[in-house]
Amino acid sequence: MNNVCAYSKADLLALKSKLELEYAAYQARNLKLDMSRGKPASTQLDLSNDILTSTLTTYTTDDKTDTRNYGGLVGITEARKLFSDLLDIPVEKIIVGGNSSLNMMYDNMIRHMLFGTHGCTPWSKLDKVRFLCPAPGYDRHFAICEELGIEMINVPMTSNGPDMDFVEQACAADDSIKGIWCVPLYSNPQGICYSDETVDRLAKMKAAPDFRIFWDNAYGVHHIFAERKLKDIFKACEEAGNPNRPYYFFSTSKITFPGAGIALLATSTDNLEEVKKHMGIQTIGYDKINQLRTVNFLKNAENVRAHMRKQAKELKPKFNVVLETLDRELTGSGLAEWEKPDGGYFVAVDTLDGCAKATVKLAKEAGVTMTGAGATFPYKKDPRDRNIRIAPTYPTYEELKVAIELFCLCVKLAGVNKLLETAE
Amino acid sequence: MNNVCAYSKADLLALKSKLELEYAAYQARNLKLDMSRGKPASTQLDLSNDILTSTLTTYTTDDKTDTRNYGGLVGITEARKLFSDLLDIPVEKIIVGGNSSLNMMYDNMIRHMLFGTHGCTPWSKLDKVRFLCPAPGYDRHFAICEELGIEMINVPMTSNGPDMDFVEQACAADDSIKGIWCVPLYSNPQGICYSDETVDRLAKMKAAPDFRIFWDNAYGVHHIFAERKLKDIFKACEEAGNPNRPYYFFSTSKITFPGAGIALLATSTDNLEEVKKHMGIQTIGYDKINQLRTVNFLKNAENVRAHMRKQAKELKPKFNVVLETLDRELTGSGLAEWEKPDGGYFVAVDTLDGCAKATVKLAKEAGVTMTGAGATFPYKKDPRDRNIRIAPTYPTYEELKVAIELFCLCVKLAGVNKLLETAE
C-alpha cells in the first residue's frame, strides 16, 4: 500500500463523488447476494451424488468386521488406510471418527481441559491457559477457546505462516501457553501455506510439556491453482524430540458432503492410547457404515486427488473472477492488499486500517452480505479493523461477479472516506 | 430364596458330586460360547438391510434443506417429527444428533461439568459431585461418572424402579447429589419398568436446583412379551414445577444398526437453548444424510412399531429358552432369583450372596463367557457379589440353549460350594 499518500484532498473528494454515484447505481439494483458462507456450491456437491445412489453390496470389511454392529472405536481399516495413503500418515496414528473434524477438535480440547495429558495438570485446574491464535484465522477455532475460557493471543500471519519469532518468544517465556491453532495449508481465510521452516520451528521450539499443535489440515487436498506441499508435522516433531506435540485433523466434509463425511484425528501412538481411553467412555464407536460408504465412493488416494481436480475446476472460475476483479479494481490503489491463494476456500482482503467494518456495512446496505468484519480474529476483534473474508464458493459465478465488483467499490469508498478524515 | 436352609450338609455334598460330574461333561465338550455381549444378532440386523441398498432419490427435506451441505444443528425436521410421534415428545424439545446416544449423554455431562446450567456452579468447580446410580445398571453410565470423578451412590432396585424412599431421602439431605441415571423401561440389566408412581416421585422430590435425571430410554420401543407403558417424564416434571429436570435420550441403535443409526436428546426448551449454545461451538451439525436415510427406512411411528415386532419375533425364542431354563433349573432351588423382563436386551440373575464371581469363573472355565461379575455396579463392585447379566440376543438359539444350561449348572455349583462353607 504505497501510494495512499498520492491522493490530494481534492482528488479524494472527486473520487468520493464518482464512487458514490456508482454505489447508488448498485443500490438501485436491489441486489441480494452472499459472499459470507464458506460452504460448497450445489455443483460441487453434485460431484459426490453417487454416494446417495450407490448401494452397499457388502457390510463387511476386509478384516471381517460387520459394520452394522457395535464396535470399532478407531474406525474401519479401509478408511484408516485411505487417509494414511492420502495424507502420508502411518495407519497406527489414525482414528477415523464421525462426521465432523470440528467436533473431534472440540472433544480433544475437552479432554485436555478435564483430564490433562501424560500426567500434566488438566487445563481446567490451572489459573490461566492461553492459546496462540494466528490471526486472521478460523472463527470456530477461536470460539472453542472463548467457550472454554482459554485466553487467546493474536499471532501475526506472514506469507509463510504464523510469525515464528513471535511464536517462539511467546512460548519460551510463558508456560501457560498450551497450544496453537494452525490451518497449515491454504489457511482460512488468507490461503497461506506454512513453509518448511515454519513447520520445523513449530516442532522444535521450546514450549510447555503439554503444549499442543492443533493442526487442522482442513484444506490438505483442496488445491485450485497449484498443488502446494506441506512438510510432515509428525516427522518434524519426532525428529525434534516432541512426538506428542501435534494433533492432526482432517475430514472429507469439503471433499464429499459437509456434515455427512468422515473425520480424522491423527497423533502419536502414545497420545492415541490416551485419546482412545477417554473416547471409549464417550462412545462405543463412530458410524462405520458411513465410513464404508465414503471409502466405497472415494476408492483410493489417487481417486480422491482426481475428485479434487474436478472440485478445482468448479472453483477456478469463481476464484479467478474474485482475484481478477480485486486486481483490476484495487491493485495500485493503495486501499487494499491480499494474498493470492493457490487453494482452499477463501480470499482475505485487508483494507486500510479502520475500514473493514465500514466496507462490510456499505456492502450490506447495497445487498451483498460479507462475513462480519472481525469474525476472523479472536473475540471477533480485528485490532486494525481491516480484514475481510471473501468466500467465493457458494454463490453462482454470475452472482459472485456482481458481488465482488460491488465489494471493491465499497473498499474504495470506505478507504476514501477514511482518508478524507485526515486529508488536508 | 426361601428354601436354602432345607439342605443338610450331606445333601449338599451329594449334590456337589452330581453337579461336578455334569460340569466335567460340559468341560469335555470344549465349548466356546458368549452370553456377554448386549448387541443384536445378524438376523436382527438383516431386518434393516434395506438401508444399505436403498437409494436416496432426494437429498432435500420438506423444508427445503439440502442435507448434503452444512447446517441444521437440531437435526432435520422429518427425523424430529418421527421421534416426536414415536415417543410422544413435542418436536420443539428434540435434537436429533449423531450415531450415539451414549455420546450425547457424555457430552451433556461434560456441559454440566464445565459450564453448569442456568447459572448454577459448573460441577467441575464443586468440591464434591455425587450421582445416584440405581444398581444393577448400565456399566457405561457408571463409567462416565467414574471418568469425571463423580461419586456414585448405589440405589437399590425394586420391581417398580429405583427404591424411591432411598432416592428421596438422599436428595433431600444432600445438595451435592446432582443427578440420577435411569433406564426406565426394560432396565439394563433387570428389565424392570418404572411405575407411574416412581416417575411422579422422581419428578416431584426435593433436590438440588441443578439435579438432573438422565432418562436413557434405550429400550423405549423394545417390547418382547408385552408392551409396557412409561409415564411421561416431561409432563410429570412440568406439573411438579421442575421442567428442567429431565434429559431424555433415545436412539435407533437397536432398531436399525448399532452405531449407524441416529440418536435423540430431548429436554425442556430452556435447557435446549443452553444445549444448542454449547453444541453449536462443538459442531456445525450432525449427519443429516444419515438422518434422512434412517427416516426413509423407518417411515413413521407405526412402521417402527411394526419393525420392532419383527425384532421381538427374533428375540422371543432366545429369551424364552433363557427364562424357561432358569425356571426349570433354578426355581425352588433357593440358589438364584431373577425378574422376568417383558422387553429390552437382558435377563439379570441374582445368585446367592458371594457367588457371582465364582459362577462367572466356572462358566468361563467351561467355555462360556458371561458379562463380568460386578460389571453392572458402580466401580464394578457388586456389594453382595450376586448379580450376573445375561445377554441372550447375540448368540444363536442353539448356542444359547447350551450356554444357559451350563450357566444354571454353574449357579448351582457355586451356590452349593458357598453353602458348604457354613454347613454343619
Residue contact A106–B70, C-beta within 8 A: no
Q: Measured between beta carbons, which residues in chain A are less than 8 angstroms from residue B288?
A: 259-260
Q: Average the pLDDT over B243-265 and give the result.
A: 97
Q: Is residue A54, in this structure, part of any structural domain at all?
A: no
CB B124 within 8 A of CB A114: yes
Phi, psi (5° rounding) for residue A267? -165, 175
The answer to whether position B370 is within a domain reads yes
Q: What is the rounded (10 degree) CA torsion for A119, B142, A277, B392?
A: 160
Residue that has been written with the C-alpha cell 457458494 in this structure? A394
pLDDT confidence of residue B78: 98
Average pLDDT, chain B: 96
Amino acid at A119: G
Distances in Å between the Cα of B77 and the Cα atoms of A144, A287, B292, B383 are 27, 21, 10, 46
What separation in angstroms does the CA of B106 have from each of A213, A280, B109, B113?
25, 11, 5, 10
B275 and B385 share one domain: no
| Residue-level pLDDT at A1 | 46
The CATH code of the domain that includes B354 is: 3.90.1150.10
Q: Flag whether A375 is in a domain.
A: yes
Is A222 a residue whose pLDDT tops 50?
Answer: yes
User: Has residue B408 got a pLDDT over 70?
Assistant: yes
Q: Does residue A56 sit within a domain?
A: no
Q: Which residues contact A342 (CB under 8 A, 6 or more apart)?
A: A186, A191, A193, A223, A224, A225, A226, A227, A228
- Give every CB contact of residue B215 below 8 A, 6+ residues apart in sequence: B182, B184, B233, B246, B247, B248, B249
Q: How much is the pLDDT for B1? A: 46
User: Considering Cα of A89, then A93, then A97, then A103, what sign does the dihedral take?
Assistant: negative
Confidence of residue A6 (pLDDT cuts 50, 70, 90): confident
3-class SS of residue A61:
coil
Chain B environment of A107 (Cβ under 8 Å): 282
pLDDT at A145: 98
Domain final residue pick, B299, B320, B350:
B299
Q: Is residue B53 part of a domain?
A: no
Averaged pLDDT for residues B317-325:
98
Residues 87-146 of A with CB under 8 A from B: 98-100, 102-103, 106-107, 110, 113-115, 124, 140, 143-144
Q: What is the DSSP letter of B353?
A: T
Pick from A266, A268, A290: nearest CA to A85: A266
Check residue B4 and give its pLDDT: 58
Residue B13 shares a structural domain with residue B34: yes
Tell me the mean pLDDT in the region B292-299: 98
Q: What is the pTM of this model?
A: 0.97
Percent of chain B with pLDDT over 90: 97
Are residues A174 and A151 part of one domain?
A: yes
| CB of A363 closer than 8 Å to CB of A406 | yes
- Confidence band for B7, pLDDT divided at 50, 70 and 90: confident
Q: What is the CA radius of gyration of chain B?
A: 23
Question: In the prediction, which pLDDT does A326 show?
Answer: 98
Among A400-404, B2-6, B308-312, B357-361, which is the least confidently predicted range? B2-6
**Shared-domain flag, residues A37 and A68:** no
The ipTM value here is 0.96
Which residue out of B282, B296, B297, B393 would a mutagenesis test of the A interface target, given it has the greatest number of A Cβ atoms within 10 Å?
B282
Give the residue from B249, B279, B299 where a domain finishes: B299
Same domain assignment for residues A30 and A8: yes
C-alpha–C-alpha distance, residues B213 and B195, integer Å: 16
- Sign, CA dihedral A134-A138-A140-A141, equals negative
Domain match, A157 and A207 both: yes
- Per the structure, the count of domains in chain A is 2
Q: Say yes or no to pLDDT of A2 above 60.
A: no
Which among A56, A98, A253 has the least Cβ separation from residue B98?
A: A98
Instruction: Please give the order of strands across the beta sheet that includes B347-351.
Output: B336-338, B347-351, B387-390
- Nearest to B371, CA basis, from B353, B396, B347: B347
pLDDT of B3 above 90: no
Based on the domain organization, do B16 and B153 belong to the same domain?
no
pLDDT at A424: 79
Sign of CA dihedral A342, A344, A346, A352: negative
- Closest Cβ opposite residue B284 in set A51, A68, A259: A259
Q: Which residue of B has its CA nearest to A104?
A: B282
Domain assignment present for residue B73? The answer is: yes
Q: Which residues of B226-243 are buried (b: 16+ CB within 10 A; e: fewer)?
A: eebebbbbbebbbeeebb
Query: Which value, in Å, is the radius of gyration of the alpha carbons in chain A?
Result: 23
- Minimal CA separation from A44 to chain B, in Å: 10
Output the DSSP codes for B63-96.
Answer: T--BTTSS--TT--HHHHHHHHHHHT--GGGEEE
pLDDT of residue A5: 58
Question: ω before B184 within 30° of 0 (cis)?
Answer: no
| Longest CA span, chain B | 78
**Is A147 in the same domain as A20?**
no
**CB of B351 within 8 Å of any CB in chain A?**
no
Residue B54 falls inside a structural domain: no
Same domain, A280 and A344: no
Identify whether residues B209 and B238 lie together within a single domain.
yes
Query: How close B10 gets to chain A, by Cα (Å)?
Result: 48
Is A52 inside any structural domain? no
pLDDT over 80 at A202, yes or no: yes
The verdict on A284 touching B (C-beta cutoff 8 Å) is yes
Which domain covers residue A368, as residue numbers? 4-44+305-422
Please write the tens of the pLDDT for every residue from A8-51.
999 999 999 999 999 999 999 999 999 999 999 999 999 999 99
Tell me: do A310 and A295 sit in the same domain.
Answer: no
CB burial string A26-35: b at 16+ within 10 A, e below: beeeebebbb
Domain with residue B271: its CATH number is 3.40.640.10
User: Are A293 and A309 within one domain?
Assistant: no
The pLDDT of residue A184 is: 98
The residue out of A256, A273, A299 marking a domain boundary is: A299
